[in-house]
Structures are given as C-alpha cells and as structure tokens.
Structure 1
C-alpha cells in the first residue's frame, strides 16, 4: 500500500495508494532512517483504517493529533487525514497573553514585567497569529540570533530564553506541541566578574557626608551597612520594626513575601546604621508610621510597584560631589557587600 523511498539527496518520501485508488506522495525531508520507517508504518496503518472504514487506534490517533501542523497538512493533502478545525489552532499572541494573565495574581510585578518583555519579543518576532504548533527549534534559534543582533547583553538573552522555555513547557503540557522548541536553545550568560566592584566603607561614608538630607544619608547607610534592598525593603521599613532596646531590625521583604517564611528577616541594628536611624527618628513627625517620608515612598512606588524606581540618578550626583570613583550597579553592590560580610566571604 505504501513505499518508503530515499532520494539521492538523502530525503525520504512515501508513495502511497489511497482508498480511492489515486497515488499520493508524502514528503518527509531528511530524517533518521528509524524515524522514516516509523512514518512508513503509520502511513500504512492510516491507509488500512481508511480502507476498512474503522476508527484509528489510540496510539495512532494520539500520534496524528500531536503532529505539528505543517506535517499534518501533508497528510491532509494526501487524503490520509482530515483538516483540523480552525478552532483548534492555537496562536502565539493569545496563548502567551493568556499564560501571562494567569500568573499576574500570584507573582511579583518585577517577574511579570520580565515575562512581558519575552511575550512582547516573541509576539513581535513570530507574529501574533503564528501557530504555536509551527514554532520549531529552528525558529527558537532564530529568536536567539535576533536578540544577539539587537545588542542585548548575554545574561539578558540567557534569562529571556529561560522564560521562553517556561512558557513553551506549558504548551507542551497542554499537548499543543510534541516537544519544547526552546529545550536545547541556550545562551551562555555574561561574566559577572566583569561588572563586579568593591566599594570601600570609607568611600561610602564620604558619599553619605555629601548626601543632600537625612533621608538620603539613611538610605545609603541602610543599603551598604545593613543590606536592605533599595527601594523595596528600605521604603517598607516601619518604626515599629526597629527594636532599639534589643538592637534589632525586622526587615520586611516584599520581593520574597510570596514564599513561605520569607516575608521578613531579622538583622542586628548595626553601629554604622544606628546614628542615621536616630537622626531620622528625632526629625520624624509625631505619629509617623514609616521610617521614610511619604513623599519618598510615593515617588518610589509607581504603577510597576517598586520596580523601575529611579534612585540611581541622584546617587550618581552624590557620588560625583563626593569625588568618589563610580562603580557599576550602584545599589546592587551595596546589598552584595553586606551579604558577603554576613556570609563571611
């Protein structure tokens, strides 16, 4: 009923006589021999079922349903399968948008924003109406090359491919794809040591001395000497979190509050921080709830939550006034220095 033929260029095709007596051809392209033989057996089974007017067995029906649309259409053209209903075609734009919307209530704004960038990038690259079933490893690699040509940093490309892999794992679980096209598309992250910096405590104190007011002095001290994330943890700090007598600070952790037992941590009230906290306490208005004034909290907490708050520009100006050499990732390395000191590294 069907013959498997290998052409001189290495491509396989199946010549088959369908139940109506006509001869059809199914081109498979270049495949491993075992894969081509598996196709041959299944095509013969399709012809047999169609000739007998019997439904396909479970394994054959499952194989047919999970075929990528492009390959399934070849069987349709050969009159070996019915065309899939248009309603079953899931496209990139609606699928990725639905995936993202389902996660918004459970995840932090920063995570959603990072995923949104990948959704926007994939939708722009593939097209919103592009079938999920048509996304191949080749397309995934083209997306990686596109990010490289756009000049994105290696670590950014690495992270976005991770996010894409997560999204298409969901498509695979929903049986929209036989395999995840991003499974083996990887990109080496950048070397973090190239942007690593150590900020001497003496330089930090010089920067603090040139800060414009008590809020900035305290903000810098909390970041460098107590390891608070800026702005989320510093701006969430309440006066009730300061235990003056026991010398402790209970630090709220908005970034980790969705994880069990990670909503806060307790740290010592370090000697390098206490003077600036005392200064802020002495100047705080009666009944103040938060350590930082509401005007700072309001400016730091925008429509994207704490993400995207621009405290870098002012810190750059303060560093320049202090005549200290500027380092990369200004606030990040404050936090990292504290973490390293506590870990003893």
Structure 2
C-alpha cells in the first residue's frame, strides 16, 4: 500500500513516497516544501497507480491528464521508471516538432501541411503537456475551427491530430488518443472543383505576352503537372528524340520516384522548342525569371496564384477557385475524354486511381452533350434532330465570363451543313484559336 514518510534533513522536513510494484518496495524522493493537501493528492494518485498495476491495467487518459498537469517531469520519469505509468508526456510544441522532423518518408508539401496543423494546435491549446489534452478539449478545438473554416479543412486537421497522437500512444506518452473518437469525413471540396473551358485556357496561354509566364502556363496547361513541378523542370528533362518529358516529382521523390514520364504533347512542343532556341547559354531550368533562385520547391507556389489571377483578369476572364489545381483537373478529364485509358492518364499526371476518382475526375457538360449523339452522328435535342451545325462567331477579344463547366468548344468555320459522324468537336487540339476569319 502506498504511503508517504517524512524525515528531517538540515532542519527541514523532507518527504519520500513509498510504493510496491510487482512485490518490490520502491522509494521516491519528493523533496521539501509540500503542503499537506499536495501530499494527500500525491498519495491518492500513487495508490490508484499501484492498484491499477496489480490488476494489470494502464491508467486511463483522465488520470494521465491529471498527472501530466500536476507533477513535474522529474517525478513522472521516476513513476515511469518503476513501471507505474508510461513515459512522461512532453510538451506539445516539442512533441510535434520532433515528430514532424522525423518524417523523412513524406514530401515537402505534406510537411508544410503538418506544420500548419502544428501551429493551429499550439495556438489553441498552448504549449501544454500532451497528456492534458482530452477528447473534450479536442471537441472544443473542432467547434472553434468550424466557425472559421470549412468542414473539409477541419477534417484535414483532425486527420493530422489523429496521426500525431497515435504516435504519442505508440511511444507510451499517453494511453489513449484524444482525437480517436472523431470521424474524419471526406476532405474533398467539390464546390471548388470545376472543369474549365479548354478553349479559354488555350487562349490565356496564347495571349500571355511575358514569355516566361507563357512557358510556365503552357507546361501546366498541356502536361497537367503541379505548378511546383513546372518550376523544377530542367532543359535536360526534355527528351526531344523520343518526344517525352521527365517530369520532376518532389511529391513522390521520397518513395524512390523522383520523376515520371509525360508525353511531349504537340501543343506544347513549338513553345518549348522556341524557348530552348532563345534560352541563354548555360540555362538550367525551363522556366526562369519568375521565381527567385532557391525557391523552386516546397510552398513557393503559394505566391504564384495572385499574379496568375491578375493575368486572367487582364485577358478578360474571371478568375476561378484553386487556379492551378483546376487546370490539372481539367487536363485529366480532357485527356480521358480524348480516349486515353484512365490508368495511363493517371500515370502521366502522377497520382493513383483512388486519388484521381476522389479529387480530379468529374462530369462535364461535354459528357452530357456526347450522350445526346446517336451512332449516326447527329445531335438529338428532345425529339428534333439538329440538321445544321451553328455557324461559328468570330473570335475577338473574349468577353468576361465565369469559367465554370466546359462549354461546347467553338466549331470550325469550315463546317457546313449536317454535323459529321465524328461530331462537332475538332478532331485534334491546336495552339491557334479554333475559329478564325483568316
């Protein structure tokens, strides 16, 4: 049975805790200057821990929270050493920092997101011992965040919290994960995922006068790569002889896949060729001048959104949400719509089929239009057959338009009479406008 004894040392009262663990008596020095109330609480906790140990049970998170909140790391380490509790829980900031620093198996963007959640947790809970964070306080955190951000964002933060504290359980710092009971819903913000007008995207690329920005946007537009990948692309990655690109992939680099092969699409080829011929001698990167040296990886892309949105406005269009990711979404749907197998397109864009279905694939207006085309090639509208294709309007300066789902592409002015069996869409894509008066 746990007990506390006191001794006189140099004229002062000195306290010592006596506990029995596994039939062996252990004495733990408590030091000087404890009040009777504090000593009673220590004895109560020690008796509870002793009894739990005899039953072969671990202290629950409530008890561990109390211990971590009330007692010093030195005392907790002593209780841990004799087997009454797990290791003393570190403070939140040190624990999260050490955990994230140890994650050598994830990419830079994932590290950024983990650090963002770390900052939010420390701001809310303070730099407390992790054992003091209960499921109730996690619920308070989630409710507070839901007032500020979307549920999908809170879902991501909850997923990270589960990840952090599951590690704390494995390390023996706590006996129960306070995030465990919270369901993480799908973190896909479908309201912001849109398939853009492909004609508009091509027009933006063609009318961009800054050559470096034009090249950057062309790489993103036609390969569907991530913006950071376009900035990391080197001239040595362009395989002119086989019409392929070795696209750098920092996201999968830690998995032993530092690059993936992407077709050198015919729409991109002339722009890359012209840029390579005009590039200064010794140039390393395909896109240069719009990013500072040493800032080509990680989260540098967060600074690329505003100038792109300004450019979109200058060209007469209305900016859309998540500008680069939705170009990527559009390109994947476009390539699959052209008949390329889904698994091939997913390999080109650098993600799994699961990620593709969850974050990229969607239903466009073209999908509905194609459903109205019978085998003969004429479009059926209700019970009426469309006998003639609409004449194409001249493509002047584009009017401001909201880039939502992809409308039907502009027809070729040479189309007359009935729609051909292949449908109204051009058989191939090209860099020039689909409609021209020249």
- TM-score by length of structure 2 reads 0.58
- In 2, distance between residues paired with 1:53 and 1:247? 75
Pick one of 320, 328, 340 that aligns with 1:335. Answer: 328
Pick one of 178, 196, 200 that aligns with 2:197. Answer: 200
2:247 aligned residue: 251
Establish whether residue 305 from structure 1 lines up as the match of residue 298 from structure 2.
Answer: yes
Pick one of 324, 327, 330 that aligns with 2:317. Answer: 324
1:289 aligned residue: 284
- In 2, distance between residues paired with 1:146 and 1:126? 12
- In 2, distance between residues paired with 1:327 and 1:300? 29
- In 2, distance between residues paired with 1:192 and 1:69? 36
Establish whether residue 112 from structure 1 lines up as the match of residue 92 from structure 2.
Answer: no
- Assess if the C-alpha contact under 8 Å between 1:154 and 1:189 holds in 2: no
In the TM superposition, 1:122-201 aligns within 5 A as 122-128=121-127, 130-149=128-147, 151-189=148-186, 192-201=189-198
1:227 aligned residue: 224
For residues 148-205 of structure 1, give each alpha carbon's deviation from its aligned partner in whole angstroms, at most 9, with x where no partner exists: 12x1121111001000100000111122222111012135346633112222221112
- CA, structure 1 residues 71+184, in 2 after alignment: closer, same or farther (shift >3 Å)? closer
Establish whether residue 70 from structure 1 lines up as the match of residue 63 from structure 2.
Answer: yes
Secondary structure at the residue paired with 1:296? Answer: coil
Secondary structure at the residue paired with 1:265? Answer: strand
- Assess if the C-alpha contact under 8 Å between 2:100 and 2:115 holds in 1: yes
Post-superposition offset of 1:265: 0.9
Structure 1: any 5+ residue segments left out of the alignment?
1-17, 21-48, 75-82
| Larger Rg computed on CA atoms | 2
Post-superposition offset of 1:299: 6.0
Post-superposition offset of 1:118: 1.8
Secondary structure at the residue paired with 1:298? Answer: coil
Pick one of 85, 98, 103 that aligns with 2:75. Answer: 85
- In 1, distance between residues paired with 2:56 and 2:93? 26
Post-superposition offset of 1:220: 1.3
- Assess if the C-alpha contact under 8 Å between 2:238 and 2:246 holds in 1: yes
Structure 2: any 5+ residue segments left out of the alignment?
4-19, 27-49, 68-72, 78-87, 337-341, 346-360, 362-438
Secondary structure at the residue paired with 1:161? Answer: helix
* Superposition misfits of 4+ residues, deviation over 4 angstroms: 52-59, 71-74
For residues 106-139 of structure 1, give each alpha carbon's deviation from its aligned partner in whole angstroms, at most 9, with x where no partner exists: 54332222112222222222221x3322222111
Question: Relative to total residues, which structure has the larger helix share, 1 or 2?
Answer: 1
Establish whether residue 268 from structure 1 lines up as the match of residue 255 from structure 2.
Answer: no
- Assess if the C-alpha contact under 8 Å between 2:105 and 2:255 holds in 1: no
Post-superposition offset of 1:145: 0.9
- Assess if the C-alpha contact under 8 Å between 1:70 and 1:134 holds in 2: no
For residues 262-307 of structure 1, give each alpha carbon's deviation from its aligned partner in whole angstroms, at most 9, with x where no partner exists: 21111111111112111211211123222122x33426817x7344
Secondary structure at the residue paired with 1:85? Answer: helix
Pick one of 264, 276, 279 that aligns with 2:274. Answer: 279
Secondary structure at the residue paired with 2:270? Answer: helix
- CA, structure 1 residues 71+282, in 2 after alignment: closer, same or farther (shift >3 Å)? closer
C-alpha RMSD of the superposition: 3.3
Q: Which shows bigger deviation, 152-161 or 311-320?
A: 311-320
- CA, structure 1 residues 186+57, in 2 after alignment: closer, same or farther (shift >3 Å)? closer
- Assess if the C-alpha contact under 8 Å between 2:108 and 2:250 holds in 1: no
Secondary structure at the residue paired with 2:255? Answer: coil
Post-superposition offset of 1:308: 4.6
- Assess if the C-alpha contact under 8 Å between 2:194 and 2:329 holds in 1: no
- In 2, distance between residues paired with 1:141 and 1:311? 35
- In 2, distance between residues paired with 1:211 and 1:248? 25
- Assess if the C-alpha contact under 8 Å between 1:299 and 1:309 holds in 2: no
- Assess if the C-alpha contact under 8 Å between 1:301 and 1:309 holds in 2: no
- Assess if the C-alpha contact under 8 Å between 1:235 and 1:292 holds in 2: yes
- In 1, distance between residues paired with 2:99 and 2:233? 34
Post-superposition offset of 1:321: 2.2
